[in-house]
Structure 1
Amino acid sequence: MPGVARLHVVEGVSILRPQAAIFEKTLKGFGDHQRARHLAPETIRSRARIVRQVQAFADGYPWEPVWNHALFDRWSAVQAKRVTTSTLRGYQGDLALYLAYLSDPAYEWPQVCMETFGTFAGFALRDLNAVRHAQEYMGQPSGNRPLSRAEIKKFFGQMDPEIKRLRAAGHKGALAAARDLAMFTTTYGWGLRRREAARLETHDWRRQAKLPEFGDYAGLAVRWGKPAGPGQPPKRRMVISVWPWAVQTVRLYMERIRPQFYLDRPDDGVMFPTEREEMISERAFNQRFQHWRELAELPECLSPHCLRHTYVTRLIEAGYDGQFVTEQVGHSHAATTAIYTALSSDFKNLKVREFLDAAEEAQLAAAFTRADAEAEMDDDFSDQAPGELVGAGRPKEM
C-alpha cells in the first residue's frame, strides 16, 4: 500500500502552485490521520489552524530551512505575550503532532517533498525549547480559584434586581437575564464545567428515591463530561443535588421562565435556549458570565470555571466526604479535586478554634478525672483506722 502522500500527490499530474497545494494536502492527510483516531472535528480544525498560523508567521513551508528552532522560539515568544502557559503548551503540542506526522517516513511526505522541491527540513520540536509540563496544574493562580463568600453574594445578588429593572423597562434582555440566573446557579450548584452546563437538556434531571424533597431535580445526569483522553467519548456521571436553594431556583426557571422561550415554537428540550432558537454556545456562555462579572465589579481574572472551584470548596467546608466530592465533579483522582479546593480563612480559623477548644476541653476533663480519683482516695483513707494503714504496702509475713 502506498503512503498517504502518494494518495494525495499522484505521480504524473502537474500541480498548480505546488507549494501551497502540497501544504494543503499535508493538512488534509493530517486531518485523516486524526479522524482515524476518532478525534473531535473541532480538535482537528484547531490543530490545522495552529499549523497555518505558523506557516504564515514563517512565510515559508515546513519542508524549507526556514522551519527551524529559531522560528519556533520567535513564534512561541509572540504567543507567550497573548495566552496562558497551559494554552501555549497546547499550541506547541499541536504543532509537534503535525511535524511528527509530516516527518514519519511511513507517510512518504519526506520523499514527496524531496522529489518535488529538492528539500525537506525534517524539523521536530524538542523539550529543549518547549514549555514543559512539570506539574499537573498549569493555570493562573489568580484566575482559577474559588470565589469568596462575599464575591458569590455580589455575583448572584445583583442579578435579581437587574432582571426586575429590565422587566420594568420592557427590555427584551430580561428573559435572557432570568435564564442566566438559572444557568449560573446550575453551574455553581452542581459543580459543572462550561460545556457540561451549556449542553444540558431537560431530560437530564432525575428523581432520587432517598431525596424526595428535591422532586424531579434530585440528580443531574451529566452527558458531556471531559473525555478521559484523546479520541475518547465524553465521560458521564450522576451529580446528586445537595443545596435546596439551587433546586428551588431551577424549579422556578423550569416552570415560569423557560416556557417563555417556546411560546411560538416547539419545545426542543434544551435546558438553556437562546432567543435565536438554539442551544447556548460555550462562547456565549463566557460572554454572559463576563457581563454579570462586570456588573458585579469582580476581578477580570474570574471565569465560569471558578464556580466549579467554589462548589468543590464549599462541599469540603461543609464536611462532605472527599471521595463523594471527587465523584460529584467527575475527577478520576482525589489529587485533582484537591487542586480545586481553597478553604477560606474563616473556615480554617474555625477549624483551628474547634481543635483548640477540643484540646482544652480534653485537658479539663482529664484534670477533673484526676481530681475525682484523688478525692475518692482521700475518702478511703479517712474511713480507715490509723493502725490499719501501717504496713499496708508490705506483703504479709508467712
Structure 2
Amino acid sequence: MGFDGMEDWLRRAELAGAAHMELVSGVVQLRPEDAMVEAMLRGWRAQQTARGLKDDTIVPRERLVRRFLAFTNEYPWAWSPGHMDEWSLHMTAEQHLAPSTIRSYQCTLRQFTEFLIDGRYGWAVACEQAFGPGRHPVAIAHEWNTIAHLNDYEGNPEARPFSRQELQRFLDYADDQVERAVKSKRKGALAAYRDATLFKVIYGWGLRRTETAKLDVVDFGRNPAAPEFGRFGMLNVRYGKAKKGQPPRRRNVAAVMDWAVEAVVDYVENVRPRFGCEDHPALWVTERGGRVKPAEINARFVAYREALKLPSALVVHSLRHSYVTHLTEDGVDRRFIQTQVGHESDSSTAVYTHVSDDFMNTALRRALGPALDSGHGSRPGRKDQR
C-alpha cells in the first residue's frame, strides 16, 4: 500500500460511524440481517453526534427509519426508489400528511441512505461481504420521486390572523372568565387570570406557543430606549424556533404595546404570588406548582374559541400572525417587525401578513394619489381626445 492509500485508509478508519467501528468481528450472529441494521443505526447516530447534532434531532430520525423498515418489510440493502414512491403515496393518500411533513420525512431517509452509500464509511462493502455480491444499499430519494420545496409558505391556506374585532372579543372573553370565577367563588380564578394574561403576552410580543410556555420571570428586563415600561421593556426569548440539529435561537423582543405591559405587571406583582410558587422560575405556573405546558395553552385557547363560535382556522399561532399584521397596518417598519418575531428573511414575515381591506384600500389611494395628481394616471398608448 502506497502513502496515499495508507493515508486514505487511516482517515476512513477514524471516521465516526464507519462500518468496521460498529460491526463486531469474529462473532457469529443468530440474526445477521438484524444485527447489520442495528449497527447501521448506531453508526448513523455516531456520525450525527460527531457533527454536533443533539438527541432531540437524532432520536426522531432513527424512529422514522425504523418506521420505513416496517413499512417496506425489507432491509436497507434491498431498498429501491420504488419503496420511496409507495411510502410517499401512503403518506399522501392514506395519512393525508402535509407536503412539508412528507418532504421532511423524505429528507431524513435521503440522509440515512446517503450515509450508507458513502464509500468513506464502508457500509456497502460490509453488506456485500455479509450477504453476497450486489447486496448493498442504493440511493432511493431522487429529485423525481421526492417533493421539492417551491413555496415559502406551505401551511393550511385557511390559517389567518384575528381581525381586530375578533381579537378584542377573544381577550374580553378571557377577562370575563376571571370575573365569573371570582363572583361564583369557584376554583380556577387564578388560572383564568394567568391564561388571560398569557394570551395578551403571545399577541403583545408576537410569540410562539412554546416560546411563551418556557418564559421565566427573569426574562423580562429594561429597555433604555423605552424607560416608560420599567423592567418590562424588553423580553429575552430563550427558546426560539431552532434550526434542525441546532440549539434554540435567542432573541430580544421590545415591548411596543403599553396595555400588554400593564397586564404583565399586574399579573407578576399581584396574581402570580398567590400561586405559592415563589421559588419556581416559570412565568406561568400552575396551582400544583409546575410550569404551564404548550398543550394546556392550546386546550384553553380552543375552549375560548369554541365558546365564542370563532372560526376553527384561528389557532394559538394566529395571535402571532395578528401581531405582524396589525403592526404592519399601523405603519411599523417591516425590518423592525422581522427582528421582533425572529425571522431571518423578509419573505417569512411577508407570509405572516394578512392586512385588512381597509389597509389595502388606504395604501392603494396613497399609491395612486401622486400618479393621478401628476397626470401619469392616463391609460398608456392613447392621446387625449378633444
TM-score range, shorter chain: 0.7 to 0.9
| SS of alignment partner, residue 253 of structure 2 | strand
1:99 to 113, 116, 131: 113
User: Does the CA contact (< 8 Å) of 2:80 and 2:138 recur in 1?
Assistant: no
Tell me the equivalent position of 1:15. Answer: 29
Q: Encode CA deviations 1:112-165: one digit per residue, 9 max, x unaligned.
A: 22223332242330111111101222222212x322123212322221222333
User: Does the CA contact (< 8 Å) of 2:215 and 2:237 recur in 1?
Assistant: yes
Pair 1:266–1:152, CA change in 2 (3 A): closer
Determine if the alignment matches structure 1 residue 141 to structure 2 residue 152.
no
Tell me the equivalent position of 1:209. Answer: 224
Separation in 2, partners of 1:280, 1:16:
49
User: Does the CA contact (< 8 Å) of 2:222 and 2:230 recur in 1?
Assistant: yes
| SS of alignment partner, residue 272 of structure 1 | coil
Larger Rg: 1
1:197 to 209, 212, 217: 212
Alignment RMSD (CA, Å): 2.5
TM-score, length basis structure 1: 0.81
1:60-139 → structure 2 map (5 Å cutoff): 60-64=74-78, 67-80=79-92, 81-118=95-132, 119-139=135-155
Tell me the equivalent position of 2:305. Answer: 293
How far apart are 1:220 and its partner, in Å?
0.8
User: Does the CA contact (< 8 Å) of 1:86 and 1:138 recur in 2?
Assistant: yes
* Amino acid in structure 1 at the alignment position of 2:199: F
How far apart are 1:190 and its partner, in Å?
0.5
Gaps of 5+ in 2: 1-12, 375-386
| SS of alignment partner, residue 63 of structure 1 | helix
User: Does the CA contact (< 8 Å) of 2:152 and 2:351 recur in 1?
Assistant: no
How far apart are 1:343 and its partner, in Å?
0.8
1:1-398 → structure 2 map (5 Å cutoff): 1=13, 4-64=18-78, 67-80=79-92, 81-118=95-132, 119-143=135-159, 145-169=160-184, 171-227=186-242, 229-261=243-275, 263=276, 265-352=277-364
Q: Give the count of matched residue pairs.
A: 356
User: Does the CA contact (< 8 Å) of 1:37 and 1:231 recur in 2?
Assistant: no
Separation in 1, partners of 2:298, 2:171:
16
How far apart are 1:314 and its partner, in Å?
0.8
Pair 1:171–1:120, CA change in 2 (3 A): farther
* Amino acid in structure 1 at the alignment position of 2:37: F
Separation in 2, partners of 1:89, 1:232:
19
Pair 1:51–1:170, CA change in 2 (3 A): farther
User: Does the CA contact (< 8 Å) of 2:113 and 2:137 recur in 1?
Assistant: no
TM-score, length basis structure 2: 0.83
* Amino acid in structure 1 at the alignment position of 2:158: S
Provide the identity percentage: 40
| SS of alignment partner, residue 239 of structure 1 | strand
Separation in 2, partners of 1:51, 1:242:
46
Q: Encode CA deviations 1:186-234: one digit per residue, 9 max, x unaligned.
A: 111101122322211111111123423222211111222234x444443
Separation in 2, partners of 1:212, 1:8:
59
Separation in 1, partners of 2:121, 2:88:
28
* Amino acid in structure 2 at the alignment position of 1:177: A
User: Does the CA contact (< 8 Å) of 1:100 and 1:124 recur in 2?
Assistant: no
* Amino acid in structure 2 at the alignment position of 1:247: V
Q: Encode CA deviations 1:29-84: one digit per residue, 9 max, x unaligned.
A: 222222222223222122112111111111222122xx222221222122224321
* Amino acid in structure 1 at the alignment position of 2:321: H
* Amino acid in structure 2 at the alignment position of 1:237: R
Q: Encode CA deviations 1:301-355: one digit per residue, 9 max, x unaligned.
A: 3332222111111111111112211221122222322221111112223344566
* Amino acid in structure 2 at the alignment position of 1:189: G
* Amino acid in structure 2 at the alignment position of 1:306: S
How far apart are 1:356 and its partner, in Å?
7.0
* Amino acid in structure 2 at the alignment position of 1:12: G
Separation in 2, partners of 1:16, 1:155:
63
Pair 1:203–1:11, CA change in 2 (3 A): same
